[in-house]
Chain A
């Protein structure tokens, strides 16, 4: 018990003194997860909106696949990305393994289905509401997608935040493809795993507090967004 209290005290000191390692690791976490978020959103938002308004033959199958991909175990994603990027793999020549880029790729694969699935749900609802009006006004497909994305932007931000929350807290995949190399690919989650293993609870706890604070912010933002949506305060 004493160890934990001592660790906590030291953790606060690290945060208070803006410890260089702690800052470095936190910034890298943000950089990797935000990049993954931007790329995943750019893929998922238009795709999911398009899926919500277009009827085609294998639509149900595509949606089922998207929902199934949401449940992909991150460790397995890590393994697959590792195999693809390893020196003998098909993308080995790019030399991306054990770089932040590899971690971003893994996170994109993990969070794109999640963002797409939440977006699709919201867009379908909005589309059933708008359908008759947008058809009546003779809109093009592009105009429909743009209208839905704009008017559904709060739901889309909620989806993006959920994706970010998943990315920043993920450890299995980025551990495998990033390698947890100090000052190169070490991020909050992998550092916590490592420091705990080494028995350095102070740094682990300090990093843990930062991670918790980030998740809290994300959840608070989601909550605020859904409330403004419900109350029609847009």
Chain B
């Protein structure tokens, strides 16, 4: 069955690192907007799956195809990495960078930068070198820098792992706004409360395999796979 809003397909995807199978073999159809939350224990392959989807990590075999032409795939996408990557520049320059790459006019860029800096509460830190921010601030900056181009698909790899409760709420608000504006969000988290709050769909990964995939309410109320049941109970998965 091919759903109408299918946006990406994985065929026989295998990722090996140092002779170890990290992901797959995986055949997967991805469809639907809103929030897709990728869950799974440490080392399950969540980061690898996101990177492979976005095309920043190499496949050992298989293919990932998006419904948009391959050449333009990454233009509409943005990625917030698990460990924030800060350009060795000021906060301002970090925010401006993705827009400068597009060659937008200066006035437009600085308006956007001011807007997003205010949004993440870093207006007073615009001239601070980004690598000097606290790790929570760096995560917020990475998120704003990803959203500043208004992508239609956003990958987020544990965007709130270093954030306190208030900051987590702020980030969730920003993400909900982006989602309401039509962005598709694919996100990993270890915070089950957050997964429950946000998820429209859940993808449960374990040992490089998708063990369960489906609507969030079904996943949380009636998980089927033993791995997912154990994971939701907080048991150690064998």
Name A residues whose Cβ lies closer than 8 Å to a Cβ of B. Answer: 126, 129-130, 132-133, 135-139, 143, 147, 151, 232-234
Q: Which of B56, B78, B129 has a CB less than 8 Å from the CB of A233?
A: B129
- Verify if B11 is at the interface (C-beta below 8 Å from A): no
A-contact bits for B115-131, CB 8 A (1 contact / 0 none): 00000000000000101
A132 and chain B: residue at smallest CB distance: B56
- Verify if B75 is at the interface (C-beta below 8 Å from A): yes
Q: Chain A interface mostly helix, strand, loop or mixed?
A: helix
Name B residues whose Cβ lies closer than 8 Å to a Cβ of A. Answer: 51, 54-56, 74-75, 77-79, 81, 85, 87-89, 97-98, 101, 129, 131-132
Q: Which of B51, B78, B88 has a CB less than 8 Å from the CB of A151?
A: B88
Q: Which of B55, B101, B129, B132 has a CB less than 8 Å from the CB of A137?
A: B101
Q: Which of B51, B74, B75, B85 has a CB less than 8 Å from the CB of A129?
A: B85
Contact B56 A232 (CB under 8 A): no
Complex Cα–Cα for A126 and B86 (A): 11
B80 and chain A: residue at smallest CB distance: A136
Contact B56 A136 (CB under 8 A): yes
Contact B129 A136 (CB under 8 A): no
Q: Which residues of A contact B81 (CB under 8 A)?
A: 132-133, 136
Given contacts A132-B56, A136-B78, A138-B75, contact A151 B101 (CB under 8 A): no
Contact B129 A232 (CB under 8 A): yes
Given contacts A136-B78, A139-B101, contact A130 B129 (CB under 8 A): no
Complex Cα–Cα for A136 and B74 (A): 7
Give, as a whole number of angstroms, the nearest-CB distance from A171 to chain B.
38
Complex Cα–Cα for A147 and B94 (A): 12
Contact A136 B54 (CB under 8 A): yes
Give, as a whole number of angstroms, the nearest-CB distance from B94 to chain A.
10
Q: Which residues of A contact B88 (CB under 8 A)?
A: 126, 151, 232, 234
Give, as a whole number of angstroms, the nearest-CB distance from A62 to chain B.
22
Complex Cα–Cα for A151 and B88 (A): 6
Q: Which residues of A contact B56 (CB under 8 A)?
A: 132, 135-136
Given contacts A129-B85, A130-B87, A232-B131, contact A136 B79 (CB under 8 A): yes
Give, as a whole number of angstroms, the nearest-CB distance from B59 to chain A.
14
Give, as a whole number of angstroms, the nearest-CB distance from B150 to chain A.
14
- Contacts A132-B56, A136-B78 aside, 16 further interface pairs with beta carbons under 8 A come to A129-B85, A132-B51, A132-B79, A132-B81, A132-B85, A136-B56, A136-B74, A136-B81, A138-B75, A138-B101, A139-B101, A147-B87, A232-B131, A232-B132, A234-B88, A234-B89
